[in-house]
Structure 1
Amino acid sequence: MKRRSRTSILIVSLLVIMVLSACGNAANNGQEAGGSSSGGDGVKVTLLNSKGEIQQPLEEAAKAFSASNPDITVEVSLVPAGQSPFERASTLYASGNPATITMLDTGDVEKFKDRVLDLSGEKWMADTVPNATEHTTFDGKNYAFPLAIEGYGFIYNKKVLDEAVGGDFDPSTIRTRDDLENLFKQIEATGKKALVISPMDWSLGAHYLPLAYATQSKDLAEVDQFIASLRAGEVDLANNAPFNGLMDTFDLMMAHNIDSASPLAGTYERGPELLGKGEVGIWFMGNWAWPQISSFDTADGQYGFLPVPISNNPEDFGNSEISSAVSKRLVIDKEFSSPEQQAAAKKFLEWLVYDEQGQDYLVNKANIIPAFSNITIPAADPLGKSIQEHIAAGKTQQSMSTLPADHWAQLGSSMQKYLAKAGDRAGLITEIENYWKNVK
């Protein structure tokens, strides 16, 4: 009798443990799905951030949002160093644990469109700037929130250029390659160097070379057709005026590069130091570099953007335009997140666009140029302001944000070879044309 009682007790105990364990696993599974939970304590949403320089402002924004929405907690995690947002998001989906909100590069959105929400019906869609959702819309449905506009071109230190021209430098005077060459010579006449070329493959392959594609036409459809023709092997770059004009400008840059003796030795960190300290007047880079530039500028100087001219005809497209586009997108998971988590994620995005506090974090704390026309707060830094001025004046060209993922590595390497004079233009053309004919 006692033995049966002990056995019964043991069985009951095991059953209790199994039930508790199952409950625990269910709770854990609920927590891991999307890295979020929607239990009795409210809804938890996670945001995977792939823009490291705004990690702290994003965390602060999440806390401010939760303070106004106490039933929602937003936790921000960062893509690990050395991993792309596509790689990190893919890994999390493979493990069944994606973030509720993921920050992707524009070209990656299509790869996840079957796993994320259609956001076409959201209120903020009516307030996006022109073309903000063009590259994330498929079959009439938009799958991404346009977070940040970024731009690039020649960043100039106005103090250096004022000294070079002997007065107040006017950026509108640089509209041709000859104008640029004259400015380089004026800078060097003061004893300073004209510019620095950062030799990283991503700068040369993802930013400089794509100007040759974007300047083919003001019409984005024609630019898309040019890329299609490249893929089909139907483009003769040797006789393409925008490409050769851009490379003629690159030759000019190489001749006046402060690192011309060792052009591949430079680092990203060297650029903002040289520009911020006024040792060079110009650096080819984007507005994301402002925090580094400002850290070296102790005189609170003025900065702005010059376009990269591709010809000596001031009317040619590209000679007065800088490159800009929405570079980062937020998508909301639909595969693992609950309806409550999805609704909370949507509410957070709407807060960023329409709440005064959300706008302040976006523009003033994170130094983001928003992609929404209703946000009228001026950019918090001079490079952002310069981009806004170019956008307002209609002086921008679309950044090529949907290029193949390996474009910058493959053709950035080809550009590095050209920069180091280890190859000529004919060889560069062959490598570019072969890349496009074989791209997957």
Structure 2
Amino acid sequence: MKFKKTFTVFLTVLIMTLSLSGCSKSSTTNNSQTQTEKKQVKITVMNSKGEIQTQLEKMAKAFMNDNKDITVEVIPAPAGQSPFEKVSSLYSSGNAPTLSMLDPGDIVKFKDKAADLSSEKWINDSFDRSLDSAKVDGKVIGFPFAVEGYGFIYNKELLDKAYGGNFDASAVKTQKDLEEMFKKLEASGVGSIIVSPMDWSLGGHFLPLSYSTQSKSSDDVNKFIEDLKAGKVELAQNKQFKGLMATLDIMKKHNISKSSPLSGTYENGPEALATKKAAVWFMGNWAWPQIHELDAENNSYAFLPVPISNDAADYGNSEIPVGVTKYFILDKEQNSQEQQAAAKKFLEWIVYNQTGQDYLVNKANVIPAFKNITIESQDPLAKSIKKYMSKGKTLQFMVTLPSDHWSKNGASMQKFLDNKIDVNGLAKEIQEYWKNIK
């Protein structure tokens, strides 16, 4: 009996021990799961380059494959809404993106909300001057995402045919040369140019050519803008402005959509090029993904400058605007330290990871702002921009204009495109805009 009791006690203790051990193991497992769950971090990326939304989403997926503990959601900025307006509304609702893609001129407006990126590895690998717009109060608060350029995109195959041989873009240096080119295209049975009526294109890219062509000196160009604000400039008498609008008159005359100049959309441009309805389109290298998707076998596209006079020697007649046009800022107010660290990891992955570089250069067709990225782009428009850069044939890309410049002045430009106002009326509206800038 004594043995039986002893054995019973032993068995009871053993069962309790095993039971406790099981609980302990279960508890440890639960704690481990909880810790794993805590490690999972979600970041949001607000994208204001709608034409690469799909590419950025795929880039995010590739990053997540390499970083299982991080989830990246790419949020598009609605068409027609400026990045500043979109990000401001998200801050107001308490849902600020971890990373926000902004125009250079808007960075300073978020300086108190943006994290200091001055100590990040990629700083030393950035191209000279690529961080200029991102420096505020002695700190770098912006990641230079894209170098871009724009002008007349042309289909060389169609121009070779129109000219009966090898078309030499460098020979088109004046307004007369441009109109002769349009006429040759039309004589060959091809529409010459499609003019897109979007306010951001007319007001944000075309009109600023009248500013950047004022001088080779950035200081002089900035002085011109200050004089506009002070009401010291008579645009209707300004050589560069008058010349640029005379060029737009030529474009209007040969526009394949001139019967309904404001009805077009962004998508009409690449479609017109791909279907050979037009050989020329005023746009930037950001349009390559759409062109390539519709005309995958043709890599003969390149850029032609927008001439503003009939004097081939005038500055601007042989140059195109090039500059960093988009920066990411990292929110430090509404995103946790873990989210900020994950976002920094994402940016570093773009710059230094081979997959990240490939997505940036070959999938999104972005010209990188980093010297260490040596991948040769297959994008002919990027190659064309690099040629202008290598020859020093570039204009200042007016990236720090007020955030509403393109929408307000774009509306005035649309009136001019639709012949609702003349050049004097246009000049008056633009001057009024600048006089009201505070």
TM range (shorter): 0.7 to 0.9
5 Å matches for 1:27-426? 40-297=38-295, 299-426=297-424
Q: Do the aligned partners of 1:175 and 1:320 also contact (CA within 8 Å) in 2?
A: yes
CA distance, structure 2, for counterparts of residue 391 and residue 114 of structure 1: 34
CA distance, structure 2, for counterparts of residue 44 and residue 421 of structure 1: 50
CA distance, structure 2, for counterparts of residue 53 and residue 238 of structure 1: 35
- Partner secondary structure for residue 54 of structure 1: helix
Shift of 1:82: 4.9
Over 3 Å counting, the alpha-carbon distance change for 1:258 and 1:42 in structure 2 is: closer
Q: Do the aligned partners of 1:379 and 1:388 also contact (CA within 8 Å) in 2?
A: no
Amino acid at match of 2:325: S
Q: 1:114-158, CA deviations, whole angstroms, 9 ceiling, x for partnerless residues?
A: 101122222212222233222222232221001012221101011
Amino acid at match of 1:361: Y
Shift of 1:330: 0.8
Amino acid at match of 1:306: L
- Partner secondary structure for residue 318 of structure 2: coil
Shift of 1:386: 1.4
Q: 1:167-200, CA deviations, whole angstroms, 9 ceiling, x for partnerless residues?
A: 1112111122222122122212212222121122
CA distance, structure 1, for counterparts of residue 90 and residue 260 of structure 2: 41
CA distance, structure 1, for counterparts of residue 232 and residue 314 of structure 2: 24
- Partner secondary structure for residue 145 of structure 2: strand
Shift of 1:42: 4.1
CA distance, structure 2, for counterparts of residue 362 and residue 55 of structure 1: 12
TM-score (norm 1): 0.86
CA distance, structure 1, for counterparts of residue 51 and residue 250 of structure 2: 32
Amino acid at match of 2:117: L
- Partner secondary structure for residue 279 of structure 2: strand
User: Which ranges in structure 1 are unaligned for 5 or more consecutive residues?
Assistant: 1-36
Give the aligned partner of residue 18 of structure 2.
none
Q: Do the aligned partners of 1:38 and 1:44 also contact (CA within 8 Å) in 2?
A: no
Q: 1:411-434, CA deviations, whole angstroms, 9 ceiling, x for partnerless residues?
A: 222222222222221111111111
Q: CA RMSD in A?
A: 2.2
CA distance, structure 2, for counterparts of residue 161 and residue 293 of structure 1: 17
CA distance, structure 2, for counterparts of residue 186 and residue 311 of structure 1: 20
Shift of 1:164: 1.1
CA distance, structure 2, for counterparts of residue 282 and residue 91 of structure 1: 37
- Partner secondary structure for residue 121 of structure 1: coil
Q: 1:382-433, CA deviations, whole angstroms, 9 ceiling, x for partnerless residues?
A: 2222122222222221221222222222222222222222222111111111
Q: 1:17-66, CA deviations, whole angstroms, 9 ceiling, x for partnerless residues?
A: xxxxxxxxxxxxxxxxxxxx996324333222222333333333333334
Shift of 1:227: 0.6
Shift of 1:80: 4.2
Shift of 1:273: 1.9
With 139-148 and 293-302 compared, the bigger mean Cα shift is at 293-302
CA distance, structure 1, for counterparts of residue 77 and residue 256 of structure 2: 34
Q: Do the aligned partners of 1:414 and 1:428 also contact (CA within 8 Å) in 2?
A: yes
Give the aligned partner of residue 28 of structure 2.
none
Q: 1:351-406, CA deviations, whole angstroms, 9 ceiling, x for partnerless residues?
A: 21112121111111222111112212122322222122222222221221222222
Amino acid at match of 1:147: F
User: Which ranges in structure 2 are unaligned for 5 or more consecutive residues?
Assistant: 1-34
Amino acid at match of 1:154: F
With 336-345 and 325-334 compared, the bigger mean Cα shift is at 336-345
Q: Do the aligned partners of 1:156 and 1:305 also contact (CA within 8 Å) in 2?
A: yes
Q: Which has the larger radius of gyration?
A: 2
Give the aligned partner of residue 28 of structure 1.
none
CA distance, structure 2, for counterparts of residue 239 and residue 361 of structure 1: 47
With 371-380 and 37-46 compared, the bigger mean Cα shift is at 37-46
Over 3 Å counting, the alpha-carbon distance change for 1:194 and 1:319 in structure 2 is: same
CA distance, structure 2, for counterparts of residue 158 and residue 82 of structure 1: 32
Over 3 Å counting, the alpha-carbon distance change for 1:81 and 1:430 in structure 2 is: closer
Give the aligned partner of residue 29 of structure 1.
none
Over 3 Å counting, the alpha-carbon distance change for 1:168 and 1:347 in structure 2 is: same
Q: Do the aligned partners of 1:159 and 1:301 also contact (CA within 8 Å) in 2?
A: no
Give the aligned partner of residue 11 of structure 1.
none
CA distance, structure 2, for counterparts of residue 59 and residue 303 of structure 1: 26
With 121-130 and 366-375 compared, the bigger mean Cα shift is at 121-130
Amino acid at match of 2:60: A
CA distance, structure 1, for counterparts of residue 180 and residue 390 of structure 2: 28
Q: How many residues align?
A: 404
Q: Do the aligned partners of 2:270 and 2:287 also contact (CA within 8 Å) in 1?
A: yes
Identity of aligned pairs, percent? 57
Over 3 Å counting, the alpha-carbon distance change for 1:427 and 1:377 in structure 2 is: same
